Amino acid sequence: MVALRERWNELLPGSTPLADELVARYVERTRRAYRDQYLDIVLTALDQLIQLSTDPTSVRLAAWFHRAVHEPGGGPAEDAESSARLAERTLPTYGVDPIRIAEVARLIRLTGELTTPPTDSYAPPRRDANGDVLLDAVNAVLAAAPVRYAAHASEVRRDAGDRATAVERRYDEVSHLLDGHLYRTQLARQRMGTAARANLEAELAGLDKELPAPWRGWQQAALAATSTFGAIAAALVSIAASGASWQVPTIEPEPGWPPVVLAAVAFFSAPLLFRSARSSSQRARLISGAVVAVAVTGLLVAWARVPVTNPAVGVGLRVPLMISALLLLLTAGTAALAASLLRTRTARFLPSRNLGQQLAWLAVPGVIALALLLIVQPLARGYVLSSNERVEGAREPAGERPQSALDGGVAWISRTLSGAGAEEAVGTKYGIAIPRQTGVVEMLDAATGELRWRYSRSDSDEKPDIVATDNGDYVLAEFADVGYVLLDADTGKRKAAWPGDTRQHSIQQADPLLTGEEVARGSDKLHGVDPDGTTRWTFEPGRCTDIGAVATTNTVVAFLGHNCGDEPDEMAGLDLVSGKKLWTKAPTDMFRRPIVVGGLVVVAEPGGDSDVPAALVGIEPRTGETKWRWPVPRDWSCRTLLNSAGRFLVVVDCPGSQPSRTIVTAIDAVTGQTAWQTTAPVSARARVTVTSDGRVVSLARGSDGCWANVISKTGFRQVRLPTAISCSRDAVAIGNLVLTSGPGSVIALR
Residue (of 154, 156, 141) closest to 192 by Cα position: 141
Q: Classify burial at 312, counting beta carbons within 10 Å of its beta carbon; exposed 0-12, middle 13-18, buried 19 or more.
A: exposed
For the stretch 337-341, contacts whose Cβ atoms lie closer than 8 Å and that sit 24 or more positions apart, written own/partner, are 337/276, 337/285, 337/288, 337/289, 337/292, 338/223, 339/220, 339/223, 339/224, 339/227, 339/276, 339/277, 339/278, 340/276, 340/277, 340/279, 340/280, 340/281, 340/284, 340/285, 340/288, 341/280, 341/285
Least reliable range by pLDDT among 2-11, 98-107, 254-263: 2-11
Contacts with 188 (C-beta within 8 Å, 6 or more apart), sequence order: 45, 49, 136, 139, 140
| AA identity, residue 541 | P
Alpha carbon 434 to its chain's center: 34
Predicted confidence (pLDDT) at residue 1 exceeds the cutoff of 70:
no
| AA identity, residue 620 | E
Nearest-angstrom CA–CA distance, 576 and 514: 9
Dihedral pair phi/psi, residue 555, rounded to 5°: -140, 145
| AA identity, residue 709 | N
Predicted confidence (pLDDT) at residue 605 exceeds the cutoff of 90:
no
Nearest-angstrom CA–CA distance, 327 and 582: 51
Task: Residue count of the chain, please give it.
Answer: 750
What distances in angstroms separate CA 326 from CA 53, 107, 380, 476, 682, one per listed residue?
59, 58, 13, 35, 67
pLDDT at 253: 72
Whether the Cβ atoms of residue 579 and residue 537 lie closer than 8 Å to each other: yes
Tens digit of pLDDT for each residue in 73-86? 778 888 899 999 99
Nearest-angstrom CA–CA distance, 215 and 208: 13
Q: What's the order of all strands across the beta sheet hosting 410-413?
A: 410-413, 745-749, 737-742, 732-734
Question: Which pTM value belongs to this model?
Answer: 0.69
Split at pLDDT 50, 70, 90, the class of 251 is low
Predicted confidence (pLDDT) at residue 546 exceeds the cutoff of 70:
yes
Alpha carbon 213 to its chain's center: 34
Dihedral pair phi/psi, residue 531, rounded to 5°: -55, -25
pLDDT at 232: 94
Q: Please state the rounded mean pLDDT for residues 634-662.
A: 86
Dihedral pair phi/psi, residue 450, rounded to 5°: -75, 155
What distances in angstroms separate CA 303 from CA 178, 248, 298, 323, one per listed residue?
45, 17, 8, 8
pLDDT at 500: 57
Nearest-angstrom CA–CA distance, 352 and 692: 78
Nearest-angstrom CA–CA distance, 494 and 486: 6
Three-point CA angle 529, 532, 534, nearest 5°: 45
Nearest-angstrom CA–CA distance, 697 and 691: 8
Nearest-angstrom CA–CA distance, 69 and 84: 9
Predicted confidence (pLDDT) at residue 353 exceeds the cutoff of 80:
no
Q: Please state the rounded mean pLDDT for residues 239-267.
A: 84
Nearest-angstrom CA–CA distance, 180 and 117: 6
Contacts with 413 (C-beta within 8 Å, 6 or more apart), sequence order: 449, 724, 742, 745, 746, 747, 748
Nearest-angstrom CA–CA distance, 57 and 94: 14
Instruction: Report, in angstroms and rounded to the nearest whole number, the Rg of the chain calculated over CA atoms.
Output: 45
Contacts with 674 (C-beta within 8 Å, 6 or more apart), sequence order: 630, 665, 666, 667, 668
Max distance between CA atoms of the chain, in angstroms, equals 144
Dihedral pair phi/psi, residue 230, rounded to 5°: -65, -40
Kindly report the number of other CB atoms within 10 A of residue 703's CB atom.
Answer: 4
Q: Please state the rounded mean pLDDT for residues 582-599.
A: 85
- Dump strand ranges (E) for 489-580: 494-497, 506-509, 514-520, 523-529, 535-539, 545-551, 555-562, 570-575
Q: Report the share of the chain in percent with pLDDT over 70.
A: 92
Tens digit of pLDDT for each residue in 324-340? 999 999 999 999 999 88
| AA identity, residue 170 | R
Q: Classify burial at 569, counting beta carbons within 10 Å of its beta carbon; exposed 0-12, middle 13-18, buried 19 or more.
A: middle
Which residues are registered as beta bridge partners of 741?
A: 746
Task: Write out 560-628 in H/E/C secondary structure.
Answer: EEECCCCCCCEEEEEECCCCCEEEEECCCCCCEEEEEECCEEEEEEEECCEEEEEEEEEECCCCCCEEE
Beta strands 570-575 and 600-607 are: unpaired
What distances in angstroms separate CA 147 from CA 63, 142, 153, 506, one per listed residue?
23, 11, 10, 82
Q: What's the order of all strands across the beta sheet hosting 610-619?
A: 592-597, 600-607, 610-619, 626-631
Which residues are registered as beta bridge partners of 479?
A: 483
Tens digit of pLDDT for each residue in 163-194? 767 777 787 788 778 877 889 899 999 999 89
Three-point CA angle 613, 619, 621, nearest 5°: 140
Tens digit of pLDDT for each residue in 606-629? 876 667 888 999 999 999 999 999
Split at pLDDT 50, 70, 90, the class of 2 is low
Dihedral pair phi/psi, residue 631, rounded to 5°: -65, 135
pLDDT at 121: 47
Element containing residue 185 per DSSP (H, E): none
Torsion of Cα atoms, 359 then 361 then 363 then 369, to 10° = -170
Predicted confidence (pLDDT) at residue 120 exceeds the cutoff of 50:
no
Whether the Cβ atoms of residue 744 and residue 434 lie closer than 8 Å to each other: no
pLDDT at 609: 64
Predicted confidence (pLDDT) at residue 523 exceeds the cutoff of 70:
no
Preceding amide of 214 cis, omega within 30 = no
pLDDT at 520: 64
Whether the Cβ atoms of residue 464 and residue 439 lie closer than 8 Å to each other: yes
- The conformational region for residue 656 under phi > 0 = left, psi -120 to 50 = alpha, else beta, is left
Predicted confidence (pLDDT) at residue 272 exceeds the cutoff of 50:
yes
Tens digit of pLDDT for each residue in 123-162? 454 578 999 999 999 999 999 999 898 888 888 878 877 7
Three-point CA angle 329, 331, 332, nearest 5°: 65
pLDDT at 575: 94
